[in-house]
Structures are given as C-alpha cells and as structure tokens.
Amino acid sequence: MLYLLSELSGTLTPLNVFRYITFRTGGALFTAGFFVFWFGPWIISLLRIRQGKGQPIREDGPASHLTKRGTPTMGGLMILAGAIVSVLLWANPRNHYVWVTLAVTLGFGAIGFYDDYLKVTKQSHKGFSGKFRLLLEFAIAGAACLLISIYSPVSLQNQLAFPVFKDALLNLGWFWVPFAAFVIVGAGNAVNITDGLDGLAIVPVMIACGTFGIIAYLVGNSFTAGYLQVNYVRDTGELAVVCGAVIGAGLGFLWFNAPPAQIFMGDTGSLALGGLLGSIAVAAKHEIVLAIVGGLFVLEILSVIIQVASFKLTGKRVFRMAPIHHHFEQKGWKEPQVVIRFWIIAVILALVGLATLKLR
C-alpha cells in the first residue's frame, strides 16, 4: 500500500523512500511488533476466556510442564495478524512471491488452527487425522510451488541449486514441484515439532527469517547476486519485507511467550511459520541452505523419526524422550538452559548458512 503510494506521488518527494526494500523491511518489522505488543494482552485475555482449560499438557512429559496447565494456545493468531497487516501495508502488492508466501502461511495456519481447536475442545493431544492433514499441506504447498516455478526465471525453472558450487544446477524436471512441496511441508512440521518449550521455536524462527531476509534481498538484486555469484531470481528481494514483518511479530509474541509463558504459539503459528520459511527458501532457490539455517528444526524432527523407527524395529528408544529438547530435560537440564542453548545453536547454523553465499 505504501509502496503504491510512493509511486503515485511522483519522483521528487520524500515518499520515494518507501520504494527502498531495506526501509520497508524496517517499517514492516516495527509495525508488526507494535501491533502484537498493543493487541497482545487483549488477544490473550480473549483466548483464555474462550479456551477455559487451555492447551492440554502431556501426562507422560516432564513433570515441570504440569504447572503450565491452563495456559491458552493459538498464540500464532497474534503473530499472523501482526505480520499480515504489516506485509499488506509495507510490501509491494504487485509482487507474485509475496502473495504465494502469504497463501502458504495462511493455508498452513488454517490447518494448524483447526488442529488446535480440536485439541482444546476435546482436551486431547490428538487433532484431526495426520494423513489428511499432510494431504492438505501437500496440496497447498504443491500449488504454491507450481506458481513459483511459473514465476521463476526460465533458466532456473525446475532447477535445484547447490550452495558453494556457483554453477551447479540439477534439473529435476516434473519432480521439482513435489520436491519443493516436500521442503515446505517438512519445514512446517519441523517447526511444529520444535515448539515444545517457552520461547524455543519463535527465536530460531526469527533467526532463520533474518537470514533468509538477507538471502532473498541479495538474490533478488542483480548486482549483489552477480558479485556473490549466486543465481539471480528477480523480485525475490521483496520477501525481505515479509521476513521483517515476521521478525517484528515474533518479537512482540516473545514478550508474552517468554518463561513463564502467558500464551503458547500452538500449531496455528508453528505450522504457518515453518511453511513461510519453506516457501521463501524455495522461491529464492536456497532449499538446501534452509536445511543448514534451520538445522535445529531438522534435528528436532529427525529425533522423532529416529525414536519412532527405533522403537518399532527394536523395541528400544534412542532418546529418553522425543523430540530431543525433552531428552535434555530428562537428563537434568532446566528448561531455560535447553532453550538458550538451542538458540545459540540456531545462531551458529544461521551464520554457517550465510557463509555459503560467499564460499563459491
């Protein structure tokens, strides 16, 4: 909206500053943060009244978590509301990638919301059918990837780019769409699995968003893409504004989610934010780098897969409890120790991911 206003204002006015992606990214960050700070208490009060007992707590989980009974969930509504309002205000509405990313975010958020709703109303950890949920996720992600493929430069359509190697491209052909959809669905569910402790998921998400905001901006600029010898993907720079909005909304949410949490993110937020990260990585042709930057999320979901596979095949568990953050809790780590140490890991992985831009 503000971008269009600057275009209509002519070329010699102060409003021209709205054309700069960096300025609008900062504006999106502060707008989303202010929105969540301002409306957060009201949203939390409303959800607490509506939900009554709040999110059900696992009886077989760490004993310290039982004190969290009654905490409302669906805090992702705060994040999504702040981020979307901010994106609509600051991003270029003519940019295809922005709309595709928002569609994935809202679609995944709707799936997560329905799952949270069932859990709260039934006071059970079981939402709706896992297979049907994955089917819906793949349908949304597949449609988004098909559009991304159409909007991508012809030379990069259906191509998988490799970090470090500047000219390495693998033509996946028709298989690229299901592969890219798998990246988005995997990212959504990996962040969802990570969201198990106060503040554990939202900070790594913000770190990953900050990283991919930089990547999207550099990849979407022909000069910087040429200098860094990365694949130039026109118009992806606008996704930096989306990342800025998520960081701002995430900061606002963290204010209320910091231990002891006043509200949980729920599947509403974690699934949506993971899908957003996946769609940005796919659009910017940095799918593999997402596995590095989001390595913490990968570790979390792998711990669950390994635990389930090991128990079914051998009857033995590899971890004391999965996901892996609960494993460390069972080993005696306090919740703040687990959270802060995992944040440190997320920062290190983000720096490694950024380093791949220069190592060519």
Give the annotated binding-site residues for Mg(2+): 192, 267
DSSP 3-state helix, strand, coil percentages of the chain (rounded to 5)? Answer: 70, 0, 25
Largest CA distance in the chain: 72
Residue type, 19: R
Cα–Cα distance list, 8 to 5, 15, 23, 360 (Å): 5, 9, 18, 41
What does the CA dihedral 211, 212, 217, 223 come to, rounded to 10 degrees?
Answer: 80
Q: What are phi and psi of 232, to 5 degrees?
A: -80, 120
Q: Is 296 helix (H, G, I), strand (E, B) or coil?
A: helix
Rg of the chain on CA atoms, in Å: 20
Cα distance between residue 115 and residue 127, in whole Å? 5
Residue numbering of the annotated binding site? 192, 267
Helices (runs of H) and strands (runs of E) counted in the chain = 14, 2
For tokens 């109303």, the residue is 121
Coil, strand or helix: which one is 356? Answer: coil
Structure tokens at 228: 């860094």
Report how far residue 38's alpha carbon sits from residue 86's, in angstroms, rounded to the nearest whole number.
Answer: 14
Smallest CA-to-CA distance from 343 within 195, 193, 212, 204 is with 204
Q: Which 3 state secondary structure label does DSSP give 58?
A: coil
Q: Which of 291, 244, 300 is nearest to 270 (CA)?
A: 300
CA distance 87 to 103: 12
Q: Is 318:310 a contact under the CB 8 Å cutoff?
A: yes
